[in-house]
Chains A and B, each alone.
Chain A
Amino acid sequence: AQSVTQPDIHITVSEGASLELRCNYSYGATPYLFWYVQSPGQGLQLLLKYFSGDTLVQGIKGFEAEFKRSQSSFNLRKPSVHWSDAAEYFCAVGINQAGTALIFGKGTTLSVSS
């Protein structure tokens, strides 16, 4: 069955430090992969997506993610975290070709300390 695992429920990072959020997926075919961010009381905002091609994808707000098929992973990274990055982050896999039916991980809450 398709699934997405985000092993870290909560991460705290110092402002200015680097960030890596982990995501592992289980999907039989070539996956469509996404990272979304949700701030308190807000809907989901797309950070980046992978459909094919270059395995390192760039997103908004300085985020990037790398698709590693051999590890079934799609980890999200940012070289220098800002206090405004504190939010909940969701990794998702699309289970249809159009990418319009998503299976989400449980999310990782990011706290940023000063």
Chain B
Amino acid sequence: KAGVTQTPRYLIKTRGQQVTLSCSPISGHRSVSWYQQTPGQGLQFLFEYFSETQRNKGNFPGRFSGRQFSNSRSEMNVSTLELGDSALYLCASSPSGTSGNAQFFGPGTRLTVL
């Protein structure tokens, strides 16, 4: 099976712009989660989507949003970019909505905000 894929791998934006990142989960996986990784804050949970519905949400401002499509692919959007949004954004997928899942991570999208 192909792993989790994320596009683009690298992105450079300027402050105030918005950005959309894409994640394609492993085939058959219905849950997609997003994480932000920075040197200062480490790995932080953004949100999780399951069957096109946001099921869990981390402690991030409303500028961070996401959605999931019927084929389980997911996008996350960051509006009004700030310098502090520079980070590696990781997407993870897992098979189902029941207990006992493990997540499989993609390689990430490296976002640089200038």
Task: Judge whether A106 is part of the interface by a CB distance below 8 angstroms.
Answer: yes
Task: Judge whether B8 is part of the interface by a CB distance below 8 angstroms.
Answer: no
Chain B positions 81 through 95: 1 when the CB is less than 8 Å from some CB of chain A, otherwise 0: 000000000101010
Q: Point out the residue from B43, B48, B104 that lies within 8 Å of A104, measured CB to CB.
A: B43
Cα–Cα, bound, A78→B98 (Å): 31
- Report the minimum CB–CB distance from B1 to chain A (whole Å): 15
For chain B, the bracket of interface size reads 20 to 34
Task: Judge whether B99 is part of the interface by a CB distance below 8 angstroms.
Answer: yes
Contacts of B50 in A (CB 8 A): 98, 100
If A43-B108, A101-B56, A104-B43 touch, does A51 touch B100 (CB 8 Å cutoff)? yes
Q: Point out the residue from A92, A100, A105 that lies within 8 Å of B31, measured CB to CB.
A: A100
Query: Total A-B residue pairs with C-beta atoms closer than 8 Å?
Result: 74
Q: Point out the residue from A36, A43, A100 that lies within 8 Å of B101, measured CB to CB.
A: A100
Q: Point out the residue from B33, B43, B58, B101 that lies within 8 Å of A90, measured CB to CB.
A: B43
- Report the minimum CB–CB distance from A59 to chain B (whole Å): 11
Chain B positions 1 through 35: 1 when the CB is less than 8 Å from some CB of chain A, otherwise 0: 00010000000000000000000000000010101
Q: Are B56 and A96 within 8 A (Cβ)?
A: yes
Q: Which of A21-41 contact B (CB under 8 A)?
A: 32, 34, 36
Contacts of B104 in A (CB 8 A): 46
Task: Judge whether A42 is part of the interface by a CB distance below 8 angstroms.
Answer: yes
Contacts of B103 in A (CB 8 A): 46, 99-100, 102
If A51-B99, A51-B100 touch, does A100 touch B107 (CB 8 Å cutoff)? no
Chain A positions 74 through 97: 1 when the CB is less than 8 Å from some CB of chain B, otherwise 0: 000000000000000010100111
9 pairs, A vs B, C-beta closer than 8 Å: A43-B105, A43-B107, A44-B92, A97-B99, A98-B96, A99-B102, A100-B101, A101-B58, A102-B43
